[in-house]
Structure 1
Amino acid sequence: MSENRKLAVRTGRKILEEVSSLSESRNMKTYPVGGFVRDLILGKEGTDIDFVVEGDAIQLAEAFRKQYRSGKVVTYPRFGTAMLQYKNYKLEFVSARSEHYDPLSRKPSVQKADLTSDLSRRDFTINTLAIEISPENFGRLIDIFGGLRDIEVKIIRTPLDPVITFSDDPLRIMRAIRFATVLDFEIEEKTFRAIIETRDRLKIISQERITEEFRKMLLAYRPSRGLDLMKETGLLDIILPELTLMTGVEQRDDYHHKDVFYHTLQVLDNISQKTDKFELRLAALFHDVAKPQTKRFIEGTGWTFHGHEDLGARMVGQIGKRMRLPIQTIKYIQKLVRLHLRPMQLVDESVTDSAIRRLMVDAGEELDDLMMLCRADITSKNPRKVERYHTNFDRVEKKMKEVEEKDKLRNFKLAIDGNTIMEALGIPPGPTVGRIKQEIKDAVLDGKISNDEEACYNYLMKIKD
């Protein structure tokens, strides 16, 4: 049905009027739909606009490009879809269609249809909303499946049978979790049960698409909600089983929660209040991933997890490859996981400049991110303990600043390289070169010699035998 309610479009109004004028000149009806309309109701106006066209969407997009000199039109004829960039807007035109899915694929067969049929094929009621853009009815809301009410009561619900909706396109399972997390909505009970019933269908979805939905979920204000929903529905067992293993793993209750899984979710939320950097949020998610494998009970001490940082870094390599993460992202997360315990080891007043230097050199450009992760890792419920740990990190950062001012270590590079060592000693490439270079580097970091070419060369001559 059509609502009497009209939505105000401000920044993008001119574009919608241009699309409307072009459509009417070609006897087509065109409607903005989906996320753009949903966000208007939520008080936001986006720059990605999807249009449903009762007519030839590709033809309309080409006409728009020609008349308004937009960017190149990218077309997908099989789906009657065309995309283009116009100013700072991303516009997508889709011919109204119905879809039928093969059980073994998420690619549907497509038939032309009207607006109602097109909206019914969409994932959730909150995305089935449309508005009119004709001059006489500009902004009038079209709500056939109760999407407005579901937004008002904060519900994620499918317009049709959720089992069919998720079976047809299993990626919608992850989208349900993502929308519930990002919008802070509840998943309606029947829809929730359907996620559990159809979750194994996710196996036909490419990992890249799953990871992209996971990325959007992790960038929510409170991403722990999404991880909790994934755990409740069994999706975590399928996508990140390593995290499921952390559930119920107890640890010493000093500056952590007792349960490693829920401690990790708290760390994730803590760091999410400080940064929108996806890679850093992932590091928070994986920083204790190896605790289940390294758990040992020591009488008088309790549960320990010796070496979990090193094993965790290796596990991140495997997880990152499975998630199809870029190599540089994997290496970044591995570095932070490997180093996340080091700053806490430097809180003692007697710690040497040498130990501070080593951490700064090892962390390099990621030092600030490492310290942010360490502070997020404090999840004690005892305010005095929290204050004490933050004071300790303040002390470590003060020492780092003092050493940095003296040594300029943030972008440390040894003044002598492997070629110089080989040439001076007349030796071929091999592990000996690396060992000697490390020995020189240790001497610099320990303050025995300065990091200049002459001092490093003289030290090389001293230790060569």
Structure 2
Amino acid sequence: FTEDGLRVMRAVRFAAVLEFELDPDTERGIVPALPSLAKVSKERISDELHKLLLTRQPSRGLAIAERTGIIALILPRLAAAFDAWGAARGGRSAVIAAWLSRVDAAAPEVRLGALLVELGDPGFDPHHRDALAFERVDTVLRALKFSNAESNAAAHLVSIARAIELVDLTAPQLRKLFSLIGREYAQQAIALWRAHSPAHPGVLAEAERILRERHPLSPKDLAVTGKDLIEGLAQPPGPGIGRILGILLSRVIEDPRLNTREQLLELAQRAELEGAR
């Protein structure tokens, strides 16, 4: 292990790939090799972590990584978060067990987010836990040299997972949230919620319904276009059209039944008149 520190992570990954337990002597040999792992480039470490998360049962490797100190070395903030959540929720071992179960249950495309949900530390201000979780996950993954896209996606998913713990979100609130993050992230968020076992299960069913029924979430989902508004309002192209489209989207997010050409043009005329005052 000491010749190439990455070998300890490969051993962990192979345990998951081949679905076996490491020999006790082999596992004990990981700890003295951790200083060698600390010298390995972040890119190589993140590559091994990514491969581990794509195995059928990542928990086999993650459990070893947590026991031997690999997680504490490569993801120190996550290890600290386990302690914080353990103090808040009945012990560290229960938090670890739930963490391992969640990562296994998560769809492969959201496992990076599932891995880091605990970074939404219980010590955070509840009213800002989602934003703080986003910042922390993004910082941790960028430090490990994950791509901007991977870091951003995982941070969005964790922040949303923490946000829904705070309140039973209504359908309009869910639509507004999905509108902010985009339909693709919304699909992934639902996959993570399912693995995360949210405190408000009704939210999951409502979120799935919103996406299944394709409720309008962006200007392109509206029954009218900018061109329709230009023609219908006899208004020239410009920021005013974008402003009206934003108003229409807000109304439709509140009530998707308004998303018809006739109703939206009527609402647009009112918005134009109000904007002119």
Taking the aligned partners of 2:95 and 2:273, their CA distance within structure 1 comes to 50
3-state SS in 2 of match to 1:307: helix
Q: CA deviation at 1:377?
A: 1.1
Q: Relative to structure 1, is the Cα distance of residues 346 and 247 closer, same or farther in structure 2, using a 3 angstrom cutoff?
A: closer
Instruction: Please give the per-residue CA displacement for 1:56-90, whole angstroms capped at 9, x wherever unaligned.
Output: xxxxxxxxxxxxxxxxxxxxxxxxxxxxxxxxxxx
Q: Which amino acid aligns with 1:396?
A: E
Q: Relative to structure 1, is the Cα distance of residues 335 and 167 closer, same or farther in structure 2, using a 3 angstrom cutoff?
A: same
Q: Which amino acid aligns with 1:190?
A: D
Structure 1 match to 2:186: 367
Is 1:313 aligned with 2:148? no
* Matching of residues 138-149 of structure 1 within 5 Å: none
Q: Which amino acid aligns with 2:124?
A: T
Q: Which amino acid aligns with 1:357?
A: R
Tell me if the contact between 1:444 and 1:450 (Cα under 8 Å) persists in the aligned partners.
Answer: yes
Q: Which amino acid aligns with 2:151?
A: I
Tell me if the contact between 2:16 and 2:52 (Cα under 8 Å) persists in the aligned partners.
Answer: yes
The two structures, once aligned, show a CA RMSD in angstroms of 3.8
Q: Relative to structure 1, is the Cα distance of residues 326 and 393 closer, same or farther in structure 2, using a 3 angstrom cutoff?
A: same
Instruction: Please give the per-residue CA displacement for 1:294-327, whole angstroms capped at 9, x wherever unaligned.
Output: 27xxxxxxxxx55332211111211121121122
Instruction: Structure 2 unaligned segments of length 5 or more: list them.
Output: 228-234
Q: CA deviation at 1:456?
A: 6.8
Out of 19, 23, 26, the position equivalent to 1:191 is 26
Is 1:396 aligned with 2:206? yes
Q: CA deviation at 1:423?
A: 3.2
Structure 1 match to 2:108: 276
Is 1:376 aligned with 2:195? yes
Q: Relative to structure 1, is the Cα distance of residues 209 and 331 closer, same or farther in structure 2, using a 3 angstrom cutoff?
A: same
Structure 2 match to 1:287: 117
Out of 210, 221, 236, the position equivalent to 2:56 is 221
* Matching of residues 444-459 of structure 1 within 5 Å: 444-447=252-255, 450=259, 454=265, 457-458=268-269, 459=271
Structure 2 match to 1:212: 47
Structure 2 match to 1:50: none
Q: CA deviation at 1:244?
A: 0.5
* Matching of residues 84-103 of structure 1 within 5 Å: none
Tell me if the contact between 2:138 and 2:155 (Cα under 8 Å) persists in the aligned partners.
Answer: yes
Tell me if the contact between 1:252 and 1:258 (Cα under 8 Å) persists in the aligned partners.
Answer: no
Is 1:357 aligned with 2:175? yes
* Matching of residues 3-402 of structure 1 within 5 Å: 166-248=1-83, 249-250=85-86, 251=88, 259-271=94-106, 275-277=107-109, 280-294=110-124, 305-341=126-162, 351=170, 353-362=171-180, 363-378=182-197, 392=202, 395-397=205-207, 399-400=209-210
Tell me if the contact between 2:176 and 2:217 (Cα under 8 Å) persists in the aligned partners.
Answer: no
Tell me if the contact between 1:365 and 1:410 (Cα under 8 Å) persists in the aligned partners.
Answer: no
Tell me if the contact between 1:286 and 1:312 (Cα under 8 Å) persists in the aligned partners.
Answer: no
Taking the aligned partners of 1:173 and 1:318, their CA distance within structure 2 comes to 25
Q: CA deviation at 1:194?
A: 2.5
Q: CA deviation at 1:344?
A: 6.8
Taking the aligned partners of 1:438 and 1:445, their CA distance within structure 2 comes to 11
Taking the aligned partners of 2:152 and 2:16, their CA distance within structure 1 comes to 28
RCO higher in 1 or 2 (8 Å CA, sep ≥ 6)?
2
Name the one with the larger strand percent. 1
Q: Relative to structure 1, is the Cα distance of residues 285 and 188 closer, same or farther in structure 2, using a 3 angstrom cutoff?
A: same
3-state SS in 2 of match to 1:169: coil
Taking the aligned partners of 1:259 and 1:246, their CA distance within structure 2 comes to 13
Name the one with the larger helix percent. 2
Tell me if the contact between 2:219 and 2:245 (Cα under 8 Å) persists in the aligned partners.
Answer: no
Taking the aligned partners of 1:168 and 1:181, their CA distance within structure 2 comes to 22
Q: CA deviation at 1:241?
A: 0.7
Taking the aligned partners of 1:347 and 1:292, their CA distance within structure 2 comes to 18
Taking the aligned partners of 1:367 and 1:204, their CA distance within structure 2 comes to 38
- Give the alignment's TM-score, normalised by structure 2: 0.75
Tell me if the contact between 2:176 and 2:253 (Cα under 8 Å) persists in the aligned partners.
Answer: yes
Q: How many residues align?
A: 260
Tell me if the contact between 2:2 and 2:33 (Cα under 8 Å) persists in the aligned partners.
Answer: yes
Q: Relative to structure 1, is the Cα distance of residues 345 and 222 closer, same or farther in structure 2, using a 3 angstrom cutoff?
A: same
Taking the aligned partners of 1:357 and 1:379, their CA distance within structure 2 comes to 18
Taking the aligned partners of 1:366 and 1:185, their CA distance within structure 2 comes to 34
Q: CA deviation at 1:209?
A: 1.1
Q: CA deviation at 1:260?
A: 3.6
Instruction: Please give the per-residue CA displacement for 1:394-445, whole angstroms capped at 9, x wherever unaligned.
Output: 64156426753xx45488556459xx999366xxxxxxx88x8755542332
User: Which 10-residue stretch deviates more, 330-339 or 258-267?
Assistant: 258-267
Tell me if the contact between 1:289 and 1:312 (Cα under 8 Å) persists in the aligned partners.
Answer: yes
Tell me if the contact between 2:120 and 2:159 (Cα under 8 Å) persists in the aligned partners.
Answer: no
